[in-house]
Copies of this chain bind each other. A is one copy, B any other.
Amino acid sequence: MTAEIFPKVKTIDLRKKHIGPSCKVFFSHDPIKIVRAKGQYMYDENGVRYLDCINNVAHVGHSHPMVVKAGAEQMELLNTNSRFLHDNLVQYAQRLQATLPEKLSVCYFVNSGSEANDLALRLAWEYTGHKDVITLDNAYHGHVSSLINISPYKFHQLANAEQSKSVHVALSPDLYRGNYRQDHPDPATAYADDVNNLIQKAHEKGHKVAAFIAESLQSCGGQVIPPAGYFQKVAQHVHRAGGLFIADEVQVGFGRVGTHFWAFQLQGEDFVPDIVTMGKPIGNGHPMSCVVTTREVAEAFKNSGMEYFNTFGGNPVSCAIGLAVLDVIEKEDLQGNALRVGGYLTRLLEQQKEKHPLVGDIRGRGLFVGAELVRDRVKLTPATAEAQDIIYKLKEQHILLSADGPHRNVLKFKPPMCFSEEDADMVVEKIDQILTGTLNAPLSLSFTMRIFLHFFTDIEKALGLQMPSTVHTKNGTPSPQSLWHSHI
């Protein structure tokens, strides 16, 4: 297998010619060609090493030998559909189930987070006989048409967006920028009440709610950590309306949050969703995913009379790979590593917040961390261009990071779980240098980028940012700066 077939310029040319123009590359002005990767490092065609701070798919580390071996050996033996019995399928289901609350016992294996979330909706529709779905603002749940409908992150991008009448958008439970913030006496109840209001409004129109769906921690939505207790209260409202609670763990599951294997468990042991969907990290890059639900929901779905068959879902190769991923997480204590290194990274970023007024908020759990950049800590003006600038400058330093959230001003850390304290030191040191303006642009920088940097070389000086000691709250009352939501 040759790692590079075409010179880069030819690769770009062929891509323009044959790949849908809606499919974007990172750093489109000067995209990166990656030919191999190992652990938390990716290598370009010239052997240049990049530190990967963003790839939550390569969960146990890029090209992990145990995962590769499991996949290769099973491919050699058999790869067929789940209409035949196979031990990998049932063993994997059993192993997954053991990580979940007991009542979440029935699995459906599919190929992507999108397929998983679409199936979750089908389960909810069938079980409840209702149609409406409540989703969070800024949510992203996948690319198939049913999920674009429930993904404000996507449908807000459309010029002619027409929100489905059976979709209701609830407030994102964002304690930094949302309607109810850290100064609110009970944001969990306040945000849950918003969901309840939507349910009531739907009822007034004669609609009925099939499901509430939320990522256990919002990822594209801006690394949002909902207040503990919020899911329990929402579940109460939704259950009362006859609907189901779907926890989307596609981005955040499999030990990433450090203290727990699933991010919904951060809400407390008394919370159990009706449906959990999984994806990205589940196969370390292999296309696979899973929906887990209760026996009750599964039986109702069966009783519709419609068989569910997924050609590739649950094939022995996917299951062998899934099992190997679980083995590696356990063997290498990657959940523990996420807790330790995530904590370390968060503390380093907190120091940046103390030092640089541009850093408005640090929040995270384990190796799922967000740093929200603002031009003004009182008005919370999103520092979008500055976030982009940091991302571009880090790229020149061979560090891959991204910015997301509705304002694209949240630096988003979700690295492979083998990320180390040295890696954390490196990325935060570079961010520090960028923010203090001591990082010189390397010679390879494109002309456009230089012009851009000319205006932003020292971002904070250029913007005349000051360091306030208080943070603005929704109702206008400044409250003491709180670090609570960066605790891991």
A→B interface (CB under 8 Å): 1, 3-6, 8, 11-12, 14-15, 17-26, 31-37, 42, 55, 57-58, 62-63, 65, 67-68, 70-91, 93-94, 97, 105-108, 111-115, 118-119, 121-122, 125, 143-146, 148, 154, 157-160, 279-280, 284-288, 293, 298-299, 301-302, 304-315, 317-318, 320
Contact = CB atoms under 8 A, between A and B. Distances in A.
Given A23-B108, A80-B34, A112-B310, A285 B315 contact: yes
Contacts of A31: 84-85
A34 B71 CA distance: 17
A320 to B, nearest CB: 7
B22 A91 contact: no
Contact of A77 (B24, B63, B313): B63
Identical chains bound together, number? 2
B26 A298 contact: no
A57 to B, nearest CB: 6
Given A18-B94, A122-B148, 12 more contacts: A1-B77, A14-B91, A20-B106, A21-B106, A23-B309, A31-B84, A111-B111, A111-B112, A115-B144, A119-B143, A145-B146, A287-B312
A304 B159 CA distance: 7
A85 B25 CA distance: 7
A477 to B, nearest CB: 38
A115 B113 contact: no
A57 B80 contact: yes
Contact of A75 (B35, B72, B308): B72
Contacts of A298: 20-22
A34 B311 contact: no
For A15, A32, A80, A279, which residue has the most chain B Cβ atoms within 10 angstroms? A80
Contact of A87 (B6, B97, B105): B6
For A78, A91, A313, which residue has the most chain B Cβ atoms within 10 angstroms? A78
13 contacts: A18-B97, A19-B314, A21-B302, A33-B86, A42-B78, A62-B79, A62-B80, A63-B75, A112-B310, A114-B144, A143-B309, A158-B305, A287-B313
A63 B87 contact: no
Contact of A306 (B75, B108, B115, B157): B157
Contact of A115 (B23, B91, B114): B114
Contact of A308 (B22, B35, B311): B22
Q: Which 3 A-B pairs rank lowest in CB-CB distance, beginning with the nearest?
A: A72-B72, A14-B90, A18-B93
A424 B235 CA distance: 57
Contact of A312 (B21, B285, B304): B285
A317 B285 contact: yes
B85 A12 contact: yes
Nearest to A96: B18
Contacts of A67: 75
A20 B112 contact: no
For A20, A71, A309, which residue has the most chain B Cβ atoms within 10 angstroms? A20
Given A112-B312, A115-B115, A298-B21, A34 B286 contact: no
B19 A90 contact: yes
B73 A1 contact: yes
Contacts of A285: 79-80, 312, 315, 317
Contact of A14 (B8, B94, B305, B311): B94
B24 A83 contact: yes
Contact of A118 (B5, B24, B145): B145
A12 B17 CA distance: 49
B311 A112 contact: yes
Contact of A84 (B25, B71, B97, B143): B25
A34 B287 contact: no
A119 to B, nearest CB: 8
Contacts of A23: 82, 108, 307-310, 314
For A58, A112, A287, A306, which residue has the most chain B Cβ atoms within 10 angstroms? A287
Contacts of A107: 18-20
B20 A308 contact: yes
A112 B113 contact: no
Nearest to A5: B87
Given A15-B85, A85-B15, A108-B23, A78 B35 contact: yes
